[in-house]
């Protein structure tokens, strides 16, 4: 997040770095200077205009009243307020006007939601989407730095033929993939990640009738999520038209070279602001010509999280 603020030259007069008591006293570098980290308290927001939160839902819920009481605006990366009817859920390329409707809190969507929504929105605006089937391939970065380190250690152990005890991720991670490690709703049999993608996309698009089914999978990739999207439109759409629409879409980069079999990959998407889109083709199982299949990849740490939050902050200044 600090890197995004710095590289985008965000206009600020003062930066407060806040964390738990355990991290208080450390320093973090910003614009060539080391800034001290202070303990987060209810009094921390005096004089603050925008508070960027990325410390989990319980912390966001605890300190939201203090942020609002200080007259600041919380831009929250957690899931705590995303589906609250009074809280805008914002992707700046899609619904920037919603940010102005805030009542002290703006929610940053889930990473897999953002990466799908950025390329889907310009298509939905031109040719309304009626149904979406999304299959995600989610990197360790979505579970945090510790999960990324655990994947490295598990892979080394597997290559050396040594046993390894997982602590962060609940299943063997090296050379394996598994259903996303979020809680499964026993009534619907969808996990939390899948439910987030479905509900959040409808809210961002302002379309409660949009039919969505998602399957979210954790894969042994360090950084950047990928998604296979099958999109049914109201009327027939050609791959050429989809490509033309997305070629001019903000936050999207076309990577679609069938001759070289070169399409979006998480390695290429890592440290990139744009969502990469390719494998754009007609779904041959739909004879009506209304369904398009495509593959996308986006950096979960940037557009899927920190960058989107900073872009929301930019809408406020």
Q: Rounded to an integer, what distance in angstroms lies between the CA atom of residue 185 and that of residue 264?
A: 31
Torsion of CA 163, 166, 169, 170, to 10 degrees: 90
Give the active site residue among 102, 124, 180, 225.
225
Closest by Cα among 96, 7, 99 to 50: 99
Q: What is the DSSP letter of 27?
A: E
Cβ contact 162:186 at 8 Å: no
Supply φ then ψ for residue 238, to 5 degrees: -95, 155
The SS3 call for residue 303 is helix
**111 is a catalytic site residue:** yes
Supply φ then ψ for residue 141, to 5 degrees: -55, -25
The SS3 call for residue 106 is strand
Give the active site residue among 4, 102, 111, 180.
111
Closest by Cα among 64, 73, 72, 30 to 47: 72
Q: Is 105 buried (19+), middle (13-18) or exposed (0-12) by CB count in 10 A? A: buried
Q: Rounded to an integer, what distance in angstroms lies between the CA atom of residue 160 and that of residue 242?
A: 46
What positions carry a catalytic annotation?
Answer: 111, 225
């Amino acid at each position: 997040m600090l890197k995004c603020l710095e590289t985008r030259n965000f206009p600020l007069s003062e930066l407060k770095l806040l964390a738990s008591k355990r991290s208080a006293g450390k320093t973090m570098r910003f614009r060539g200077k080391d800034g001290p980290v202070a303990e987060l308290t209810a009094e921390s927001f005096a004089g603050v205009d925008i508070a960027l939160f990325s410390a989990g839902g319980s912390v966001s819920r605890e300190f939201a009243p203090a942020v609002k009481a200080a007259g600041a605006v919380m831009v929250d990366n957690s899931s705590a307020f995303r589906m609250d009817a009074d809280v805008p859920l914002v992707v700046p390329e899609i619904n920037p006007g919603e940010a102005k409707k805030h009542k002290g809190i703006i929610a940053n969507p889930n990473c897999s939601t953002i990466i799908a929504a950025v390329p889907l929105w310009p298509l939905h605006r031109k040719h309304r989407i009626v149904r979406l089937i999304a299959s995600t391939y989610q990197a360790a970065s979505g579970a945090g730095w510790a999960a990324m380190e655990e994947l490295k250690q598990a892979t080394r152990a597997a290559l050396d033929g040594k046993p390894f005890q997982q602590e962060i991720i609940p299943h063997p991670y090296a050379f394996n993939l598994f259903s996303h490690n979020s809680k499964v709703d026993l009534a619907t049999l969808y996990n939390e990640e899948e439910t987030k993608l479905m509900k959040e996309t409808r809210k961002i698009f302002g379309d409660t009738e949009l039919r969505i089914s998602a399957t979210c999978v954790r894969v042994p990739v360090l950084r950047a999520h990928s998604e296979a999207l099958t999109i049914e439109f109201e009327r027939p759409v050609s791959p050429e038209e989809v490509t033309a629409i997305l070629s001019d879409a903000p936050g999207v980069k076309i990577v679609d070279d069938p001759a070289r079999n070169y399409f979006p990959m998480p390695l290429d998407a890592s440290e990139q602001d744009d969502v990469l889109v390719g494998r754009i083709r007609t779904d041959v199982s739909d004879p009506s010509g209304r369904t398009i299949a495509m593959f996308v990849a986006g950096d979960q740490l940037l557009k899927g999280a920190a960058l989107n939050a900073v872009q929301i902050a930019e809408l406020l200044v």
